[in-house]
Amino acid sequence: MAEERALATVTCTAPVNIAVIKYWGKRDDDLILPINSSLSVTLHQDQLKTTTTAAASRDFLEDRLWLNGEEADVGHPRLQACLREVRRLARKRRGGSAEDAVALSLSYKIHIATENNFPTAAGLASSAAGYACLVSALARLYGVEGELSEVARRGSGSACRSMLGGFVQWQRGERPDGRDSLAHQVAPETHWPELRVLVLVVSGEKKQVGSTVGMQTSVDTSPLLKRSPKGCGAVGVPELGVTATRLPRQHRAEVVVPERLALMIRHIRERDFEGFGQLTMQDSNQFHATCLDTFPPIFYLNDLSRHIIALAHRFNAHHGRTKVPAGRADPTGLPVCRGAVVPHQIPVSPSIPPQVAYTFDAGPNAVIFTLADTVAEFVEVVRRSFPPAANGDQFVRGLPVGSASLPQELLAAVVPEPVPGAIRYILHTKPGPGPQLVDDPSQHLLGADGLPRRCA
């Protein structure tokens, strides 16, 4: 693709994805093979994207890497794995024959610059977008085409899902070498035009436990998730009347996820928001339950997450027109104010059709799925629940959001005591396409000298 010249430069962008059936736990740490399949929605790059420029030149003395303008260690094993794999595919494509005059030399050193337009490592899948973008740019640079999700997976598991737009499944695969652990598209981004995504950004801080360390600890220690080193089997204790039976240990991976994945695909194909939303919330909760069952426990949800979860359930219950018996407790355990027209203590039934659905990854931000005609109302509910600090920042960003006035009944039923400033801003986006090549050379992050044009 790139021609043999002093400096070959390629720039790509790649999207973030949000899993609705969560990936948590590897069966092979080196190849990054998951213990269960997962499914995600690729978010639109107009709102969230990584941009990566890769350049190669015979004049470069060493491989170099810049992350958000700061030079970083290019020797990271996962980055090196991606580089090695793309070069291997390039070599394979060239058939091992003599040098192709127009192909870039695989021995040249490379420079890589990458930037996110969103906070890094805050549970916004930055490594997914980052490695998807890196692999896309490197593949273009070396003229490699075809299946690349396997390469992106070597950088970060969920990166393989960012190699495609729309609704994407990462199939766990069966082979020990991981050749069948690939992403494929369940439906394109145009499939469900009404689907909207609201990212509630609660903090730009880095998360405390990286997902790599966290999920390994979960696999090692969570009885709801883990592989038993002794294989399957319960300990028989005849004196206690316990019957010894051989039972599977990877409960979530072996029992729960296969069912959920099939259901989720059906909901997406049928554009069934009720099914999609409920299963999304349930799988988010189970992922965090698995983290809590890890030892020592991992907490990604905090009291604010709990507030947001309760808000979503109250909003859904209100629209579900549930009648509320007096004195029933709010199942989310949240403090609520009294004396409202419709009580806050809502016996939220699992069968209430959701209008909004939350999901939380390994970070503090909440992601809300909803349909276009609910966005304005729910955004207003969030604004009333977490009144923005008057610091001039725009509270609602991304796609335009219409105005909505909330009926008093809805306010009374759904909005608890406001928590000012708890949410920094809301990003309104929707499903979007996979990685893109940036044609405009002025958009390269590296200049003609192969060095970053801008510094952070």
- Report the interface residues with a copy of itself, using CB under 8 A: 37, 169, 171, 174, 207-210, 213-214, 217, 220-221, 223-224, 234-235, 237, 240-242, 245, 247-249, 251-252, 254-256, 258-259, 261-263, 265, 278, 281-282, 285-286, 288-290, 292-303, 306, 309, 313, 328-335, 348, 350
Nearest to 140 by CA among 132, 184, 107: 132
> What phi, psi does 379 have (nearest 5°)?
-60, -40
What 3-state DSSP class applies to 208? coil
Q: Which is nearer to a copy of itself, 329 or 372 (CB)?
A: 329
- Nearest CB to a copy of itself, comparing residues 224 and 399: 224
Cis peptide before 296 (omega within 30 of 0): yes
Do 110 and 52 meet the contact criterion of CB atoms below 8 Å apart? no
Q: Using alpha carbons, list the distances in angstroms from residue 428 to 191, 372, 391.
A: 19, 10, 20
Beta carbons within 8 Å of 17's beta carbon, 6+ residues apart:
40, 41, 42, 43, 125, 128, 129, 158, 161, 162, 168
Please report how close the Cβ of residue 351 comes to a copy of itself at its closest, in angstroms: 10
What minimum distance in Å lies between the beta carbon of 222 and a copy of itself? 8
* Nearest distance from C-beta of residue 334 to a copy of itself, angstroms: 7
Structural element, H or E, at residue 287: helix 273-292
Helix (H) or strand (E) holding 155: helix 149-155
**Closer CB to a copy of itself, 154 or 313, in the complex:** 313
CB of 402 to a copy of itself, least distance (A): 28
Handedness of CA 419, 424, 425, 427 (dihedral sign): negative
Of the candidates 157, 122, 125, 179, the one whose C-alpha atom is nearest the C-alpha of residue 14 is: 125
The beta strand positions in 178-220, using DSSP E, are 183-187, 195-201
Residue 217 CB, shortest distance to a copy of itself, in Å, is: 7
User: Whole-number minimum distance, CB 329 to a copy of itself, in Å?
Assistant: 5
Contact by Cβ (8 Å): 334, 317: no
d(CA 385, CA 254): 39
Q: How far is the CB of 134 from a copy of itself (least distance, A)?
A: 23
Q: Are strands 70-72 and 64-67 parallel, antiparallel or unpaired?
A: antiparallel
Question: Smaller CB distance to a copy of itself: residue 112 or 281?
Answer: 281
Q: Which residues pair with 437 in a beta bridge?
A: 12
Q: Which is nearer to a copy of itself, 347 or 447 (CB)?
A: 347
Which of residues 185 and 332 has its CB atom nearest to a copy of itself in the complex? 332
CB of 36 to a copy of itself, least distance (A): 11
Nearer of residues 251 and 397 to a copy of itself, judged by Cβ: 251
Residue among 34 and 435 whose Cβ is closer to a copy of itself: 34
